[in-house]
Amino acid sequence: MEIIKQEIAIPTGIEQMPCHLARPASGGPYPGLVVVMEAFGLNDNIKQLTDRFAAEGFVAIAPNLFFRFPDNVVPYSELPRAITLVGKLNDDQVVADMNAAVAYLKTLKETKPNIGTTGFCMGGRIAFLAAARNNEIQATAPFYGGGMTSPRPGGGKAPIEYAGNLRAKVMAFFGGRDSFIPLADVDKFRDALKGAGKDPEIVLYADAEHGFMCDERPSYHPAAAKDAWGKVIAFFKRQLG
């Protein structure tokens, strides 16, 4: 599907947040999707993934959640810098920024009222957290989101503590060889959602590592990435129409 893509800025509070927006070039309206970046920032890989979602029939927006910080796109080889940027985030501010992205999608004539979230690494956690705190989000598909069951250092609830408020359907992807997310945490995440009366779809690729969707990282796993892509597109089309 032919797409239109552009760099825009949207209001979040009194500030303007840069975003990458991609949508089908014609037809519609289409479901909306907020695509959340990894800890490495709003880089070309995340923009390309956003474009791929648009080509599948979504109006997709990727907000730069690091926009308040200088030098906010980090090479994959500089993980400590990325971790420093993540440490500067505040969950309440992040949720406000995500809500701003959802609100912006709803202003577009090309967008249906049906909105989902997805994200990778840090973005997986944020995609789920935003869905748990905003009932306008109808589906969420986090990829290898770490810290789902643990409070952030310095305070704040673990995202899973908001599970009782969650209305969105959940499909979550994990790698069995992920050195950042123990399998015990995946089990705890699943069990907590089930305990809250939710029915999550948990997809685990036994041979995949953290970052298996990113073809610019050594951990890229082509088979898992292909399978997950088919599953996540089907999930959002089923849940968002």
Q: Which residues are catalytic?
A: 121, 178, 210
Name every residue whose Cβ is closer than 8 Å to that of residue 18 and which is 6 or more positions away in sequence. 7, 8, 9, 42, 63, 64, 67
Query: Is residue 161 classed exposed, middle or buried when 0-12, 13-18 and 19+ CB atoms within 10 A define those classes?
Result: middle
Q: Quote the CA–CA distance of 161 and 82 in Å, as a whole number.
A: 26
| Cβ density class 35-55: b for 16+ within 10 Å, e for less | bbbbbbbbbebbbbbbbbbbb
Q: Quote the CA–CA distance of 63 and 36 in Å, as a whole number.
A: 7
Q: Is 4 helix (H, G, I), strand (E, B) or coil?
A: strand
